[in-house]
């Protein structure tokens, strides 16, 4: 890159994420000075990757801001003399409004188009506040569909492995109910990745409900999914799948231990588990006999 060209930066340095060879399509310029801007001139970025904001968290932040002020300036781009659009820091902006501040400190960065703004917003948010997995997946999908970026470029842009980016995007194959469950924290991305392997959306929901009701771990979910894939490959009906889920759950509650159910090609089912001691096994036998 020529020294005469404006160095392109993004958060901690886009060069560090992309390398000079991949920087040619970005036009983000550095500005390290902060300025005090009236809240009336600051507007939310409509392309903001983050869409879920915890109201209690923002209220608590507002209390902190009332006492200590804004410690870390937000980042904005100038649209015109009376309008600045948020690149990162929307939580601090919302909390400042609740705290009834008139102005807040801002870093002003030159971003020449909406594509760069979305890229910058994504990376800035990932560096500062965790987005939920579905928000990340939806943003990656936008970069792919609207801006024609491939997964290799996106992985370099956000500093993630290619497989990590692909796993996020694959979450969008899940039933919308399950996606909402991930966004609301009822199950993890690991649960979602396991459920992706079930093509039947109805069966996805059945296992999802089992995860919630029985508080299943990711490993337990993976076992159930593997079992259901075996059952469906043998042309079994969904009723059999329900039996598999129910049996696994009941045996684990009975034994207070992880249980594995396997079906061979002849239809024979093997149950395996482990006990801490012979005394524990004896106690379970007494429970069964009663």
pLDDT at 159: 79
Residue ranges per structural domain of the chain: 14-170, 174-289
pLDDT at 275: 80
Q: Would you say the pTM of this structure is higher than 0.75?
A: no
Q: Write the CB contacts of 289 (distance below 8 Å, at least 6 apart in sequence).
A: none
Q: What number of other Cβ atoms are within 10 A of residue 138's Cβ? A: 19
pLDDT digits (tens, 9 = 90+) for 223-234: 888 877 654 444
Fold classification of 14-170 (topology level): 3.90.1530
- How long is the chain? 290
Q: What is the distance of C-alpha 66 from the center of its chain?
A: 31
Residue, of 230 and 284, whose pLDDT is higher:
284
- From residue 48, alpha-carbon distances to 14, 85, 136 in Å are 19, 10, 11
pLDDT digits (tens, 9 = 90+) for 10-37: 333 333 333 333 433 333 344 457 889 9
What is the rounded distance in angstroms from the CA atom of residue 79 to the CA atom of residue 77?
Answer: 6
- Residues 122 and 158: beta-carbon distance below 8 Å: yes
What is the rounded distance in angstroms from the CA atom of residue 205 to the CA atom of residue 198?
Answer: 10
Q: What is the distance of C-alpha 47 from the center of its chain?
A: 17
Please tell me the number of Cα atoms within 13 Å of 168 on its side-chain side: 24
DSSP count for the chain of H helices, then E strands: 13, 9
Q: What is the distance of C-alpha 162 from the center of its chain?
A: 15
Burial of 81 (0-12, 13-18, 19+ CB in 10 A): exposed
Measured N-to-C along each axis, helices 162-170 and 151-158 cross at an angle, to the nearest 10 degrees, of 110
112 catalytically annotated: no
Q: Write the CB contacts of 170 (distance below 8 Å, at least 6 apart in sequence).
A: 193, 196
Catalytic residue selected from 90, 124, 135, 206: 90
Provide DSSP, 263-285: E-TTS-EEEE---S-HHHHHHHH
Judged against a pLDDT cut of 60, whether residue 112 lies above it is answered with: yes
The CA-CA-CA angle for residues 181, 184, 189, to 5°, reads 60
* 132 sits in which H/E element: none
pLDDT at 141: 86
Residue, of 259 and 232, whose pLDDT is higher:
259
What is the rounded distance in angstroms from the CA atom of residue 201 to the CA atom of residue 190?
Answer: 18
Could you tell me which residues are beta bridge partners of residue 263? 269
- Per DSSP, the three-state class of 39 is helix
Confidence of residue 132 (pLDDT cuts 50, 70, 90): confident
Mean pLDDT of the chain: 77
pLDDT at 178: 94
Q: Write the CB contacts of 191 (distance below 8 Å, at least 6 apart in sequence).
A: 182, 211, 216, 218, 221
pLDDT digits (tens, 9 = 90+) for 155-193: 887 778 899 999 999 999 999 999 999 988 899 999 999
């Amino acid at each position: 890159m020529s020294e005469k060209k404006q160095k392109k930066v993004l958060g901690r340095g886009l060069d560090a994420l992309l390398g000079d060879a991949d920087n040619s399509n970005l036009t983000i310029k550095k500005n390290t000075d902060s300025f005090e801007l009236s809240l009336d001139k600051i507007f939310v970025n409509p392309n903001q990757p983050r869409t879920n904001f915890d109201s209690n968290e923002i209220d608590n932040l507002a209390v902190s801001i009332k006492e200590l002020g804004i410690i870390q300036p937000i980042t904005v781009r100038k649209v015109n003399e009376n309008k600045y659009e948020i690149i990162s820091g929307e939580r601090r902006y919302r909390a400042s409004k609740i705290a009834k501040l008139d102005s807040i400190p801002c870093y002003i960065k030159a971003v020449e188009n909406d594509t760069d703004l979305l890229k910058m917003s994504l990376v800035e948010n990932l560096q500062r506040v965790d987005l939920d997995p579905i928000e990340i997946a939806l943003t990656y999908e936008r970069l792919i569909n609207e801006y024609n970026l491939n997964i290799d470029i996106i992985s370099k842009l956000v500093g993630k492995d290619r497989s990590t980016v692909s796993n996020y995007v694959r979450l969008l194959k899940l039933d919308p109910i399950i996606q909402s469950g991930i966004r609301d924290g009822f199950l993890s991305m690991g649960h979602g990745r396991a459920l992706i392997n079930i093509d039947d959306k109805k069966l996805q929901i059945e296992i999802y409900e089992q995860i919630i009701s029985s508080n299943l771990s990711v490993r337990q979910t993976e076992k159930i999914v593997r079992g259901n894939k075996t059952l469906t490959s043998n042309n079994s009906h969904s009723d059999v799948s329900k039996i598999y889920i129910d049996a696994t759950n009941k045996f684990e509650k009975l034994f207070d231990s992880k249980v594995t159910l396997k079906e061979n090609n002849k239809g024979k089912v093997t149950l395996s588990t482990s006990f801490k001691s012979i005394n524990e096994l004896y106690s379970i036998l007494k429970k069964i006999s009663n």
